[in-house]
A and B are shown apart, each in its own frame.
Chain A
């Protein structure tokens, strides 16, 4: 199982184009949105734009790399028959899912770090050491939830359907979770829904740290719950999959 994890990581690092864009674009998007912003707090929030978007874009970038990358690659591997071949080995279902999450995590970590570096260097964001570390680690661990979701989508959909489905889910989650614009700017009913979405809990982790408190237990519980559902679902779909593929 560790061999597969290592191999998936080597392979992710070898895919230079995917790696480059996944790492570069969240930081670029951050500069585009928050680049001209001032230090005034956002309406209804303690955070200003550079701070808020640092967490949002780190989360958004990590989510892009793991969710879109995983779902598409897995659908492709199912079509090529590699998953069938893998099922003829002693590898347990959780091994495949773990390897996919690990390879996604390798791509998401540098993209998270780059957003933070750009925020500090260009927008002069200043935080305590523990806050930097907590945000980086929290955002990175949180991305596993979306990696697992990516695996599950890769199993639910086939061929041409994968991209539209994962895109739709991805944008809906990102928007409703407040990754693109602060939640306080959205109507109340959207806020009510978003409170229970993994993306909202995900961004809230970092936001809480930026304010100077520990992440809320509720947000962590929501993320843990989603991780369990997505990873469990992915492992179950992996085992059942080849009945139809």
Chain B
């Protein structure tokens, strides 16, 4: 099952001896520390051609570090990391990767069109400048100076740089930061076209609805490790993603409610009880078994956001290994 708590190291193919399409990205036991902080901890990860993958995680989970390693901007302390079966530097030199960095500054003192021409010329298979501008939706600001752009426009220019040539993999670190809702929708519309052309897309995001709507695979990172890996629906199910809400008349017996099976969270305010459960059917059945009579009973699915919080807090509460506890 994909959602194994440990990562999927067992399925890692050895380069050169595999049958199916080569993995686009492969991390094998990759670690990276900054001083005492272990940003990426024994990470195993594979991306396959045509996937759209969201990288989720709270701040400091290791998302940006993982992307930096992947793009060859930093070198791992240990482990093997390949892009298209080669080193990140080589894959980039071959024009296989386009990336949009969160911290990616732009050259100032030049016009948008000039910068896009530079990106196109530097790419071994660069697209015509007008086409790049049109795809990124920045044709009308082509003559503007970089320093005079709004935050959202700058993001579009970064996107244009990332898609200036025929890349096989596009890496985006929080691409829609600074965009309003409609700009965000337009952006993902453009991104979907890229996916339809058979590209692999990997993006880190804070907006969970983006991961939910756009990605066909979601990887949750926590403390530099893969905490969960699956479809958005699987992640939600995995996190005990059912919410049960009801009212009780009589004085509420907190201890009895705590004893309900499959319970992962309990919250009582006044007469209203909110429960999160791994198995809502069983929990509700047991609730009636206590002899209680709940009013206004509602069972609903959790959003990815709550699932995500549930996953990471559960992991924080129980140190996974002795090594981690000792830290």
Contacts and interface: CB of A to CB of B under 8 A. Distances in A.
B73 A81 contact: no
B92 A89 contact: yes
Given A10-B114, A90-B122, A80 B109 contact: no
B199 to A, nearest CB: 16
A242 B88 CA distance: 14
Interface in B102-135: 103-110, 114-115, 117-119, 121-124
A217 interface: no
DSSP majority for the A interface?
Answer: helix
A80 B121 contact: no
A163 interface: no
A171 interface: no
B86 interface: no
B270 to A, nearest CB: 50
Q: Which of B74, B104, B110, B119 has the most CB of A within 10 A?
A: B104
Contacts of A40: none
Chain A interface residue bracket vs B: 20 to 34
23 contacts: A1-B122, A3-B118, A3-B122, A7-B114, A10-B110, A14-B109, A77-B107, A81-B103, A82-B105, A82-B107, A83-B105, A84-B104, A85-B101, A85-B104, A87-B73, A88-B73, A88-B98, A90-B93, A90-B94, A90-B124, A91-B122, A242-B73, A243-B74
Interface string A1-37: 1111001001100110000000000000000000000
B161 interface: yes
B224 interface: no
B95 interface: yes
Contacts of B105: 77, 79-85
Interface of B: 68, 71-75, 92-95, 97-99, 101, 103-110, 114-115, 117-119, 121-124, 158, 161
A88 B99 contact: yes
A90 B92 contact: yes
A7 B103 contact: no
B95 A85 contact: no
Interface string A42-86: 000000000000000000000000000000000001011111110
Interface of A: 1-4, 7, 10-11, 14-15, 77, 79-85, 87-91, 242-243
A1 B122 CA distance: 7
B122 A243 contact: no
B1 to A, nearest CB: 35
A84 B73 contact: yes
B107 A81 contact: no
Contacts of A2: 121
* Of listed A7, A10, A79, A85, residue having the most chain B CB within 10 A: A85
Nearest to B109: A11
Nearest to A85: B104
Contacts of A15: 109
A80 B105 CA distance: 5
Contacts of B92: 87-90
B103 A84 contact: yes
A7 B73 contact: no
Contact of B75 (A10, A81, A89, A243): A243
Contact of B123 (A4, A84, A89): A89
B104 A7 contact: no
A85 B161 contact: yes
A88 B91 CA distance: 10
A7 B101 contact: no
Contacts of B103: 81, 84
